[in-house]
Structures are given as C-alpha cells and as structure tokens.
C-alpha cells in the first residue's frame, strides 16, 4: 500500500515564515477570538503543535472558562478546616487536609460523563483511573473510591446499554487497582437519558512530610515521563467530548474515548509511592485530560517557568503518531516527574523494579518558555502560563429563567395524598421499590468493598468509612449526595441541600465534617437559564461553607450535559469528608438490637415538593425545596458526633423521609419497629425536611440522649421501639395505622434492579 506523504513539519520557523496559512482552529473547538488571542500571545500564528496544545488546554474541560468567574468565590472561604489550615487547596490536583497524628487526607470528585455515554465501560473505567492518579500525584496512597452515578429512566432502552457497561467499568478498573468502593449514588431521572452522569471520587492518605506538588523547579532537573506508552487513544477527547452536546446525527466519536489498563495503573501506584518514599521526586503531575500538553505547561508554569522537552523521546505505542497527536493524546496510566540529576539513577531503578517504562524527555530551564522539539526542530515555543492559566474567561450571561416562578408556584403540597393505613402502607411499598430507593446491590456487589482490609462502613451505610491507622484507629468518612430535583426547584438552596445531606451522612457515622469537594454537573453554559442555575449553586455552596466553617478543597465542573435543548437537572454533587478519632466507636446505620428506643432528631415541616413521593407517585416536579437551616444542621451534626457511644445506630432522613429511613433501618439487620407519629401521619412519614435523623438507644441511655439533644438545641422526639419482624406505624388518627412485615419490604426493595437489568 502506498504511504500517504506526511505533511512538512510545522516548526516555529515555518510558522514565522508562513504567517497566513489557514489553520483548523474551529474544528479544534476554538472560537475566532480565542484563535486571535493565541496569535497575539505568540506574535505569530501558532504551529500546528501549539494550536493543538492551546485548543485542548483552553477547552471548557481544562480551562473552566465559563465557570471560573463563579468558582472564584470558593477561595473567599477561609482555607481552614475545623482542625486547622489546609495543607494544599484549590488549584492543586486535589486539596489536602490535616487530620491529626501527622496524617493528611486528600480527596476529590470528578466527572467522566461524556466519555461514558459514548463508550460506557471504558469511559467509566478511565474516570476511576484519572481521579486515582490525581490523588496519587499529591503524594498520597489511594485508599478508597466512590462513584455517584446518574442514569435515564430504569426502563429506557439506552439505560440498559449504558448502565451495565458503566457499572462494569467502574468495578473492572477499581477492583483491579485494589481500591475498595465504599459508597456513591445510583439515581435515575428522565433528564439523564442520553446524558448519564459518571462522577468518580477517590480518597488518599499521606503523612504530612510526603506532600508533593505539581511544579517543575530547579534548573537542570530532569523531566521524566513514566508509565504506559503514548498511543492514539483519546486524541482530542477533552475538547471534542467535553465541549459539545450530543446530537443524534453527529459523526461517530468512539475513537476519542481513552482505553484503560488498570494493571498498569496498579504498577504506577506502587512504583510512584516507592519513588516518594525514596525521596527522588522534586515535582509530579499526572497525565489526564489534555495529556502532555497539560502536564508540561502546568508543571512549567508552576515552577521556575521554563521547560525544554524532546517529543521524539516519548515512548509510543503507535510509531506513526505526529507531534500534534502526541501532545493531545490522552493515553491513560502516565505520570510526569521532575527529578534532580543525582536522583535519576535511583528513580530509574525503582521504575525498573515495577516494570514501569520511564524516559527522561527534557529538563527544567529558566527561560520562561516551554520549548518542545521534534527530532531537533522546534515545534513549540510558548509562555507556559499562557497555555495553562491564561485561557479565556467568559462572563456568560445568566438570568433567572422565565419559567422559574411558575415552577415554584406549582407545589406538590396540593397533590392527592394517601390517608388510610392501607394507602400509607401501599405508598411505602411503592416508594421502597422505586428505582431511586430500591436495593442497589445489583450495582454495588460488582465492586470490591473489602480490599485493603480497612473498610469500616460501606454502602448502604450513610457514609463510607475507612480506617487510616490500625494502631490508633484514626479514620475518615465520606459521603456524596445531591437531589437534582431540589436543585431544579431552587439551585441556591438545592446545592445547599446536597451539601447538608452529605454533611449529615458523615455525622451520623460519628465523624466530624472537615471539608467538601464538589462535582458540578450542569447543562450548556451558553443557555442563560443554565448559567443562572450554575451561578446560584456556586453561591449557595459558598454561603453554606462559610456558615458551616468548612472549605471547598477542589472539585470539577462538567458543562454541556444536555441532549438537544433539554438540560439535565442541575446536579451539584457534594462530597463531604469527615474525621473520626476512633473508628471502633463509629455509629452504624440501621437497627442493631431489639427493644431499643427510637428517637427522631429535628423537626418535620409540610415539605413535599421535589420529594421522592411527588416524583414516584405523581411524576411531579414543582414547588419550593425544603427549607435549609444551616444552624440546625450544624447543631445536629455536633450532636451526632457527641452522641457516639450513646446511640447504637443513626440514619439520616432524606429521600423518602421518615418512612423510608425506618424501612432501611429495619432492612439492615432484619429488625422491625413499632412507631407512633404525632400529627398528620402522611406528612410525618413522607415529607423530606432537612436537618433530621433517627437514632436508637438502649432504654438506659434515653435520658442521656435527650440531655445531649437539649444541650445542642436539637428537637428530640421519642417515636417508638425496635423489635419484631414487622414495621408498624400509628398516628393520632386510628385509621392511619398500618403494618408491613420486614420481609415483605425486603422483597419489594430487592426485586427492582434484578427485574430490570437481569
């Protein structure tokens, strides 16, 4: 077969000599003014390699160009947790917080939504791989993962295409890394059809002295690329996949999705941790979105300002790749380290031990330029900061949508309600079997939750909890939450509700909330309605963090999540990380013994809009979300932490309200309960007011609990007693009484996913 002649290499000299050449900036996702700006920065047209770098680094995914004016306010929150200053904050690969005893924890949640729609298995798998490398790059050993997932309706055909692949991809990659998957979410809503959300969170643990930052300092230090070889996968994935919405008739985009090799990543983890231990790493960066373009420009701009690399030294899987493609490739399982010349030999020996290929491709300079050569000819000569940090910033127009008032006026409180015992009983069974509330073990049983032997709590507990030190029993807990329906009704309060639910879930386990990471999934920023949702959500999170005294340590924004004109529910997923000094004292979720008292903490209001009841029974979304009372959340959290050892179990009240919390608590260990509610039985059972939880205590501890609740100013109501094999509920109205055998609840709860997915 005759070889296609390769185009003449577009070097810096060629670019200077041929200033008017037509360049495919539009195809690469750049706007005309962005291209003009690049020419202005360089004082000439960019070479094709430079154009490739700018196009990926200035994409929405890498540059946060639409979101950063709103994200900026997170840095107004004091960079301190309840126990002290953050060790690294926003802008690093992941935030790092001090948890005491010389330990620090880093955690972050990121999205991999669009790749997972195109190729579910690989998209989800590489989402896990990417976030784990972010954690590793901070100097931490990854210790757990969690995956908040959102899909279209459970009965939709496309859900049956994407869900099994995404779940298998999350499991296939995470299981092979030896990281326990300890929580996350599985949520179904029609707006995610054609745009599933695959968010991935990882947690890492390090000693304070092991903290590593992404910067290339020290002139003459070597730049070493190690890990997998660079191939043609994921070329342009960042700009093409993350910056456009999917149209039903677009060209196939399969080649843009990266392919993961978890075995290589496992070697990379062990190898990198050994490199840290040997103290031969001066700076480090993982290769994720935008690959080498990102790693070289970010390392250089954060360090002494210069770097020179020879691209032809990059080990390739495909020898025909052009320099542009090598710069854009998103091949997985690669890292870049900056190493002092005297440490290179030791560095290489450790890589050899782990069978990890490593090549010095360049060195740190003080020229203030990022210079990249291809077989001795200069193809890139740019100020690195202009690539990594000086991307465009858009002040996108935003405005409260015209339909928002009508939506909020259409409250669920007016919908027909069940009143008799039979109706309330049927509602319970209908809700517990609904896709969002049913048993998720079809999904979570595909994830290894035990590996590493430090999993103290895992799904379906309120939070995942990991032992950090088995001598002192220090541990951390993490939860991720978001109710997108609340965020649609009011994005400011909806984002706060996501935060306080996650905060509560960490507290119920007995851990003190320390910090948040967020993954902000929204529709197109070019739609002022969506941009308003985004702005409101950011403002809500900032205000809540200020009030609760916890910082945002980092996170991720995913925009353009929409199919045609239909945006997803605004979905600001919030992960809260908490610390617990002694994991052996954690509070479990679910009833643990017969004959214990059950108390409700917090007050119930007639808040039904956006609830699971309105969604499942009436397919209704309208009204205002539950009231957010941050002071009450803070008091409840403090009470739950102080009540460790007094209470025997705790469960937060959220989706589905008290009725579902009771059912889930009974299901956990097959222990029933007899409960009596005051006032309107339906409202008490199904309203989704925030700042509430149920706890159990032995009879002898009841007074102590009440005293603690009073001390914290948290309303406390005795509602019943555990025991038996049925859940029975009665109210002031004798007609509202009903009972359901726990086994009958279990049958309904467990059947849904297997029936739908096989």
Partner 1 sequence: MKVGVVTFPGSLDDVDARRAVRLGGNEAVALWHRDHDLQGVDAVVLPGGFSYGDYLRCGAISRFSPVMTEVVAAAGKGLPVLGICNGFQILCESHLLPGALIRNDHRKFVCRDQRLRIENNRTPWTSSYAEGAEVTVVLKNGEGSYVADAETLDRLEGEGRVVARYLDGNPNGSLRDIAGITNEAGNVVGLMPHPEHAVEDLCGPGTEGLGFFTGLVERAFA
Q: What are the CA-CA distances from residue 288 to residues 112, 318, 626 (Å)?
A: 11, 19, 39
Q: Does 584 bind partner 1 (CB under 8 A)?
A: yes
The answer to whether residue 319 forms part of the interface with partner 1 (CB under 8 A) is no
SS3 220: coil
Minimum CB distance to partner 1, residue 220 (Å):
33
Q: Which is nearer to partner 1, 263 or 397 (CB)?
A: 263
Q: Let me know: does 590 contact 664? Beta carbons within 8 Å.
A: yes
Candidates 28-36, 165-173, 494-502, 535-543: pick the segment binding partner 1 (CB under 8 A).
Answer: 165-173
> Read out DSSP for 483-529?
-HHHHHH-HHHHHHHHHHHHHHHHHHTTPEEEEEEEEEE-S-TTSHH
Q: Which stretch binds partner 1 (CB under 8 A): 98-106, 256-264, 275-283, 310-318?
A: 256-264
Q: Which residues pair with 573 in a beta bridge?
A: 519
**How much helix, strand and coil, in percent to the nearest 5, is found in the chain?**
40, 25, 35
DSSP secondary structure, 267-334, as one string: HHHHHHHHHHHTT--SEEEE--TTHHHHHHHHHHHHTTSEEEEEGGGS-BSSTT--HHHHHH---SSE
Q: Is 582 in the site for partner 1 (CB under 8 A)?
A: no
Q: How many residues of this chain interact with partner 1, rule: CB under 8 A?
A: 33
**Footprint of partner 1 on residues 321-340 (CB under 8 A)?**
none
467 binds partner 1 (CB under 8 A): yes
Among the listed ranges 172-180, 302-310, 317-325, 618-626, the one in contact with partner 1 (CB under 8 A) is 172-180
The residue within the footprint of partner 1, chosen from 18, 375, 397, 450 (CB under 8 A), is 450
Q: How many CB atoms are closer than 10 A to CB 66?
A: 23
Region of 251-259, 261-269, 404-412, 415-423 interacting with partner 1 (CB under 8 A):
261-269
Minimum CB separation from partner 1 for residue 583, in Å?
7
Residue 609 DSSP class: T
Q: φ, ψ for residue 595 (rounded to 5)?
A: 75, 15
549 Cβ partners below 8 Å, 6+ apart?
Answer: 78, 82
The number of CA neighbours under 13 Å toward the Cβ of 115 is 31
Helix (H), strand (E), coil (C) string for 380-421: EEECHHHHHCCCCCCCCCCCCCCCHHHHHHCCHHHCCCCCCH
Name the segment binding partner 1 (CB under 8 A); options: 338-346, 364-372, 440-448, 670-678: 440-448
One of 172, 305, 610, 672 touching partner 1 (CB under 8 A)? 172
Tokens of residue 52, six digits:
């490739």
Nearer to partner 1, 244 or 357 (CB): 357
Closest distance of CB 274 from partner 1, Å:
12
Residue 219 or residue 757: which is nearer to partner 1 going by CB? Answer: 757
Which CB atom, from 467 or from 721, has the smaller least distance to partner 1? 467
Give the residue with the Cβ less far from partner 1, 405 or 470. Answer: 470
CA dist., res. 746 & res. 669, Å (int): 11
Q: How far is the CB of 99 from partner 1 (least distance, A)?
A: 18
Closest contact distance (angstroms) between CB of 106 and partner 1 is: 20
Q: Pick one of 185, 261, 333, 536: the residue that binds partner 1 (CB under 8 A).
A: 261
Nearer to partner 1 (CB atom), residue 178 or residue 549: 178
Stretch that binds partner 1, among 23-31, 201-209, 442-450, 476-484 (CB under 8 A): 442-450
Both structure tokens of 334: 């690669």
Q: How far is the CB of 758 from partner 1 (least distance, A)?
A: 9
Structure tokens at 166: 């995404």
- The reply to whether 360 sits near partner 1 by the rule CB under 8 A is no
455 binds partner 1 (CB under 8 A): yes
367 binds partner 1 (CB under 8 A): no
Judged by CB under 8 A, the residue of 267, 520, 537, 569 near partner 1 is 267
Per CB under 8 A, the list member of 140, 264, 617, 671 interacting with partner 1 is: 264
Q: Looking at 41, 69, 274, 354, which residue binds partner 1 (CB under 8 A)? A: 354
Q: Is residue 448 part of the contact set for partner 1 (CB under 8 A)?
A: yes
Query: Is 699 one of the binding residues for partner 1 (CB under 8 A)?
Result: no
Q: Is 449 in the site for partner 1 (CB under 8 A)?
A: yes
- Is 600 in contact with 585 (CB distance < 8 Å)? no
Which residue's CB is nearer to partner 1, number 293 or number 455? 455
* CA distances, 290 to each of 58, 100, 310, 330, 481 (Å): 10, 35, 18, 6, 29
Neighbours of 457 (CB within 10 A): 28
Could you say which residues in the range 175-214 bind partner 1, by CB under 8 A? 175-178
Supply the minimum distance, in Å, between the C-beta of residue 355 and partner 1: 6
Residue 557 φ then ψ, to 5°: -120, 135
Structure tokens at 209: 């002295």
| Alpha carbon 27 to its chain's center | 30
Question: Any contact of residue 173 with partner 1 (CB under 8 A)?
Answer: no
Contact between 578 and partner 1 per CB under 8 A = no
Of the candidates 194, 262, 435, 578, which one interacts with partner 1 according to CB under 8 A? 262
Contact call for residues 282 and 354 (beta carbons, < 8 A): no
Site for partner 1 contains 171 (CB under 8 A): yes
Which residues are catalytically annotated?
Answer: 61, 112
Assess contact for 420 and 615: CB atoms under 8 A. Answer: no
Q: How far is CA 122 from CA 167, 172, 231, 237, 318, in A?
A: 11, 10, 15, 13, 20
Alpha helices in 65-119 (DSSP H): 68-71, 113-118
Query: Is 169 or 494 the residue whose CB approaches partner 1 more closely?
Result: 169
Q: State yes or no: residue 471 binds partner 1 (CB under 8 A).
A: no
Residue 352 touches partner 1, criterion: CB under 8 A: no
Interface with partner 1 includes 446 (CB under 8 A)?
yes
The nearest distance, CB 171 to partner 1, in angstroms, is 5
Which CB, 456 or 681, lies closer to partner 1? Answer: 456
Which string of DSSP letters, residue by residue, matches 453-486?
S-EEE-TTSSSEEEES-TTT--EEEEEEE--HHH
**447 touching partner 1, by CB under 8 A:** yes
Q: Give least dist CB 456 to partner 1, A.
A: 6
- The residue ranges that bind partner 1 (CB under 8 A) are 168, 171-172, 175-178, 261-264, 266-267, 354-355, 441, 444-456, 467, 470, 583-584
């Amino acid at each position: 077969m005759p070889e296609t002649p390769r185009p003449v290499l577009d070097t810096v000299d060629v670019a200077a000599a041929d200033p008017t050449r037509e360049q495919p900036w539009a195809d690469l996702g750049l706007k005309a003014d962005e291209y003009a700006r690049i020419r202005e920065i360089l004082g000439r047209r960019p070479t094709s390699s430079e154009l490739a770098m700018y196009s990926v680094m200035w994409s929405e995914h890498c540059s946060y160009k639409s979101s950063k004016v709103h994200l900026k306010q997170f840095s107004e929150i004091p960079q301190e947790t309840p126990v002290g200053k953050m060790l690294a904050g926003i802008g690093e690969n992941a935030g790092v917080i001090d948890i005491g005893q010389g330990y620090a924890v880093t955690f972050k949640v990121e999205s991999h939504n669009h790749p997972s729609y195109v190729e579910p298995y690989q998209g989800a798998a590489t989402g896990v791989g990417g976030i784990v490398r972010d954690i590793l790059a901070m100097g931490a050993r990854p210790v757990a993962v969690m995956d908040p997932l959102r899909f279209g309706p459970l009965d939709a055909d496309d859900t049956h295409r994407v869900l099994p692949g995404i779940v298998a991809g999350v499991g296939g990659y995470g299981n092979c890394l030896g990281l326990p998957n300890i929580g996350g979410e599985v949520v179904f809503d029609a707006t995610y059809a054609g745009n599933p959300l695959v968010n991935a969170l990882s947690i890492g643990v390090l000693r304070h002295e092991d903290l590593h930052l992404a910067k290339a300092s020290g002139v003459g230090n070597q730049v070493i690329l190690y890990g997998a070889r660079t191939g043609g996968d994921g070329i342009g994935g960042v700009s093409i996949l993350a910056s456009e919405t999917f149209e039903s008739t677009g060209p196939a985009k399969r080649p843009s999705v990266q392919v993961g090799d978890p075995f290589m990543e496992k070697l990379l983890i062990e190898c990198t941790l050994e490199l840290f231990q040997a103290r031969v790493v001066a700076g480090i960066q993982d290769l994720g979105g935008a690959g080498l373009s990102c790693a070289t420009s970010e390392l250089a701009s954060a360090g002494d300002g210069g770097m020179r690399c020879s691209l032809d030294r990059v080990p390739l899987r495909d020898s025909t790749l052009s320099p542009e493609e090598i710069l854009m490739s998103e091949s997985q399982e690669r890292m870049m380290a900056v190493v002092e010349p005297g440490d290179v030999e030791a560095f290489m020996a450790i890589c050899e031990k782990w069978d990890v290929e490593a090549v010095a491709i360049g060195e740190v300079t003080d020229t203030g330029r990022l210079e990249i050569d291809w077989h001795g000819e200069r193809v890139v000569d740019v100020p690195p900061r202009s690539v990594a940090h000086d991307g465009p910033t858009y002040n996108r127009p935003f405005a409260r949508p015209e339909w928002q008032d009508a939506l909020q006026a259409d409250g669920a409180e007016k919908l027909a309600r069940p009143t008799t015992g039979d109706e309330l009983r049927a509602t319970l069974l209908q809700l517990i079997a609904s896709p969002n509330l049913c048993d998720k073990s079809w999904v979570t049983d595909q994830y290894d939750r035990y590996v590493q032997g430090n999993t103290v709590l895992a799904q379906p507990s309120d939070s995942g909890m990991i032992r950090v030190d088995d001598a002192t029993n220090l541990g951390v807990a993490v939860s991720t939450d978001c109710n997108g329906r609340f965020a649609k009704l009011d994005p400011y309060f909806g984002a706060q509700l996501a935060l306080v639910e996650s905060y509560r879930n960490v507290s119920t386990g007995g851990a003190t909330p320390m910090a948040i990471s967020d993954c902000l999934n929204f529709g197109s920023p070019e739609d002022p309605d969506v941009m308003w949702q985004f702005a409101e959500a950011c403002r809500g999170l900032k205000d809540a963090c200020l009030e609760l005294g916890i910082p945002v340590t980092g996170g991720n924004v995913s925009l353009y999540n929409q199919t045609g004109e239909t945006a997803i529910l605004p979905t600001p997923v919030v992960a809260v990380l908490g610390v617990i000094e002694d994991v052996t004292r954690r509070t479990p979720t679910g009833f643990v013994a017969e004959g214990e008292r059950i108390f409700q903490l917090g007050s119930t209001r007639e808040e039904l809009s956006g609830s699971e009841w309105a969604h499942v029974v009436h397919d209704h979304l309208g009204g205002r979300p539950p009231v957010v009372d941050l002071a009450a959340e803070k008091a409840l959290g403090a009470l739950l932490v102080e009540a460790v050892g007094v209470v025997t179990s705790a469960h937060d009240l959220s989706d589905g309200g008290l009725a579902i919390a009771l059912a889930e608590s009974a299901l956990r260990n097959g222990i029933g309960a007899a409960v009596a509610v005051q006032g309107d039985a339906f409202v008490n059972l199904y309203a989704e007011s925030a700042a509430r939880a149920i706890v159990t205590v032995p009879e002898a501890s009841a007074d102590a609990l009440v005293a603690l609740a009073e001390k914290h100013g948290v309303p406390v109501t005795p509602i019943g007693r555990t025991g038996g094999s049925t859940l029975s509920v009665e109210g002031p109205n004798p007609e509202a009484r009903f009972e359901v055998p726990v086994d009958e609840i279990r049958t309904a709860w467990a059947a849904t996913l297997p029936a739908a997915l096989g």
